[in-house]
């Protein structure tokens, strides 16, 4: 077992490293890479949070899109401060997820997955029909505040770290255990007085709050958004990050999203065959490493103490 | 001796399409009692449990708990009223530790985290699970898994504990241990118990009264001695002489 102190030390070191790197990236391609990695990590962590109750939430793409469009409207159309845009995006995604979750989370498994998939696609089609937000061609001119421009990667990394920490704390809490218990056997959770349906809705709302912020950060990083950015493919990519990284620990989405986002830069060169990259990543991960990279690391860490003991003799 | 009726099942019926699983069943449980609900396979015992605990809606009839109608309540609401059940199959959170299994049961009942922890340890001690708290429940031997499923329900400190075949698959020593625990739960915590069980020896030994069901219909109710000698019960279990 890795001691708590070692875990905290490594988390602090890695966070400081991430923040440090982001400070020196400037505004070029390196900066974009840092931003993409950070946002994808955030989305993967949000997607995984709903997996705690055993559901694959393809609606994440819808909520990211909603966050992006709401924040874009706030800053580019209404001229509101960036902070207001960020909060509005998170609240809009949370509110809609409460309604959608309340209606749809009575289903589970493949049924919920299909409904969440449909939700994402419906939202995307709605964006294409609204002239105010640019219809099919999307919205332009979504910029972060001038003061932040140079440090935008650092700002994003900081927000992502904060949200990851919050999600991790929630997962470790008794509430987090209830979520895992629902995935394990929801009938038992009901018998001990817990309203399973509302707990599931709350889980989706927390995840969507994070997804909304992710969308707002993404919109202000790319400066341009269009409906196509928020199709179900976004959810598939996110699923790929988690499958490669591993589901059993929050480090999984962090690892998976970081590695795949960086490798995807190579895959961009494949042109229309780019999607094969993500598809094969999922297939390879499922076949060869059922608990992703986290599982491999776990195995290594479990073996390590034994090796130490034997080397003393 | 003054007795108080805590559970009253009044002409409960449950139909699945054309099949009547339970028909016009009435019985009651008094405070401090251990009541057995027995009957051959398919008699409707588990269906009755599911109806009483809010898992299935009733087709007809009424269930009252401490005088309050609980027929339309959800399982979670029924639990907060003080009625908790266990399951015959899949009766625990198999991927989680024994500690977390019991902890989940305290989540909606107790606010304070330290109080929850205290409840987990107290519950585990009574069910002889203290040495297994950090083990994954699904990896435990069958006998201990049965105890975990009872611990989950008992950790909510209900007023009525409904146990669905808690002794299935236990050896004789384990059955003896379980019966001691049931008595202790009843005597120390003033929790009444409604027991569905096939182990007749155990049922006769522990129950104050027994309700017999056959093909979803009430057959008899009485003390173990009355039930043992009831001709209708003997016929249902052993068949009629030709």
pLDDT one-digit tens code per residue, B87-135: 988 889 999 999 999 999 999 999 999 999 999 999 999 999 999 999 9
Give the nearest partner residue to B95 out of A184, A195, A196, using CB atoms: A184
**Burial bucket for residue A102 (CB in 10 Å: 0-12, 13-18, 19+):** middle
Contact list, B92 vs chain A (CB under 8 Å): 185, 188
Cβ contacts below 8 Å, chain A against chain B, sum to: 78
End-to-end Cα spacing for chain B: 44
Q: Are strands B83-85 and B160-164 parallel, antiparallel or unpaired?
A: parallel
Phi, psi (degrees; rounded to nearest 5) at A268: -55, -30
Measured over all CA atoms, what is the biggest interatomic distance in chain B, rounded to whole angstroms? 64
Domain B1-82+159-242 part of CATH 3.90.1010.10: no
How is chain A split into domains, by residue range? Answer: 4-312
Rounded CA separation A68/A71 (Å)? 5
**3-state SS class at B163:** strand
- Would the CB atoms of A192 and B113 count as touching at under 8 Å? no
- Per-residue pLDDT of A76-105, as tens digits, reads 999 999 999 999 999 999 999 999 999 999
Q: Residues 6 or more apart from A152 whose CB is under 8 A from it? A: A27, A31, A35, A144, A220, A221
Contact list, B155 vs chain A (CB under 8 Å): 192
Q: What is the pTM of this model?
A: 0.90
What is the model's pLDDT at position A162? 94
Locate A175 and state its tokens: 């509430």
Kindly state the DSSP code that residue A76 receives in the 8-state scheme.
Answer: I
Which segments of B63-126 does DSSP mark as H helices, in order?
A: 75-81, 98-107, 113-126
pLDDT above 70 (res A246): yes
Contact list, A193 vs chain B (CB under 8 Å): 76, 79-80, 84, 108-109, 156
Closest alpha carbon within chain B to A186? B93
| Residue ranges of chain B with per-residue pLDDT less than 70 | 1-2, 238-242
What is the model's pLDDT at position A312? 36
Q: State the fold for domain A4-312.
A: ABC transporter involved in vitamin B12 uptake, BtuC (1.10.3470)
Query: Which strand (E) or helix (H) includes residue A242?
Result: helix A232-245
Contact list, A180 vs chain B (CB under 8 Å): 95-96, 100
Closest alpha carbon within chain A to B148? A188
End-to-end Cα spacing for chain A: 21
- Would the CB atoms of A180 and B94 count as touching at under 8 Å? no
pLDDT above 60 (res A9): yes
Give the nearest partner residue to A192 out of B79, B90, B116, using CB atoms: B79
What is the model's pLDDT at position A311? 35
How is chain B split into domains, by residue range? Answer: 1-82+159-242, 92-157
Give whole-number Cα distances, A104 to A96, A230, A259, A307, in Å. Answer: 12, 20, 33, 50
Report chain B's mean pLDDT, rounded to a whole number. Answer: 91
Q: What is the mean pLDDT of residues A7-36?
A: 78
């Amino acid at each position: 077992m890795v001691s708590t102190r070692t875990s905290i030390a490594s988390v602090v070191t890695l966070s400081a490293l991430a923040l440090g790197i982001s400070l020196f990236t400037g505004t070029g391609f390196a900066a974009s890479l840092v931003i993409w990695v950070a946002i994808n990590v955030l989305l993967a962590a949000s997607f995984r949070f709903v997996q705690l109750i055993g559901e694959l939430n393809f609606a994440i793409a819808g909520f990211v899109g909603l966050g992006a469009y709401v924040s874009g409207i706030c800053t580019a159309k209404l001229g509101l401060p960036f902070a207001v845009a960020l909060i509005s995006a998170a609240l809009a995604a949370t509110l809609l997820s409460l309604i959608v979750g309340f209606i749809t989370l009575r289903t589970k498994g493949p049924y919920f997955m299909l409904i969440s998939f449909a939700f994402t696609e419906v939202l995307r089609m709605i964006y294409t029909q609204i002239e105010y937000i640019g219809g099919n061609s999307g919205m332009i001119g979504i910029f972060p505040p001038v003061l932040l421009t140079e440090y935008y990667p650092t700002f994003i990394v900081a927000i992502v770290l904060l949200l990851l920490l919050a999600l991790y704390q929630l997962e470790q809490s008794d509430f987090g255990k209830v979520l895992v218990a629902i995935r394990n056997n929801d009938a038992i959770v009901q018998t001990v007085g817990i309203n399973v349906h509302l707990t599931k809705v709350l889980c989706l709302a927390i995840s969507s709050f994070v997804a909304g912020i992710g969308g707002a950060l993404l919109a202000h990083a790319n400066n341009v958004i269009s409906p196509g950015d928020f199709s179900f493919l976004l959810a598939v990519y996110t699923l790929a990050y988690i499958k490669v990284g591993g589901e059993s620990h929050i480090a999984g989405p962090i690892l998976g999203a970081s590695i795949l986002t960086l490798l995807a830069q190579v895959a961009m060169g494949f042109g229309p065959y780019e999607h094969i990259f993500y598809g094969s990543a999922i297939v390879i991960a499922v076949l060869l490493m059922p608990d992703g990279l986290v599982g491999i690391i776990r195995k290594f860490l479990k073996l390590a103490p034994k090796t130490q003991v034997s080397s003393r003799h | 001796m003054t007795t108080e009726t805590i559970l009253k099942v009044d002409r409960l019926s449950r139909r699945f399409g054309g099949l009547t699983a339970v028909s016009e069943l009435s019985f009651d449980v008094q405070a401090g009692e251990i009541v057995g609900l027995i009957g051959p396979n398919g008699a409707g015992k588990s269906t009755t449990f599911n109806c009483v605990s809010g898992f299935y809606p009733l087709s007809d009839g009424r269930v009252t708990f401490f005088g309050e109608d609980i027929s339309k309540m959800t399982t979670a609401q029924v639990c907060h009223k003080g009625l908790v059940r266990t399951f015959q199959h899949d009766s625990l959170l198999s991927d989680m530790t024994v500690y977390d299994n019991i902890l989940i049961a305290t989540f909606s009942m107790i606010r304070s985290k330290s109080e929850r922890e205290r409840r987990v340890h107290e519950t585990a001690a009574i069910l002889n699970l203290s040495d297994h708290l950090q083990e994954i429940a699904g990896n435990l031997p069958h006998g201990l898994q049965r105890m975990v499923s009872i611990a989950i329900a008992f950790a909510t400190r209900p007023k009525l504990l409904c146990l669905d075949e808690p002794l299935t698959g236990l050896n004789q020593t384990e059955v003896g241990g379980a019966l001691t625990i049931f008595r202790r739960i009843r005597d120390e915590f003033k929790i009444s118990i409604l027991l569905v069980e096939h182990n007749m020896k155990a049922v006769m030994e522990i129950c104050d009264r027994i309700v017999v069901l056959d093909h979803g219909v009430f057959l008899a109710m009485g003390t173990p001695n009355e039930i043992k000698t009831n001709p209708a019960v003997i016929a249902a279990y052993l068949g009629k002489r030709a």
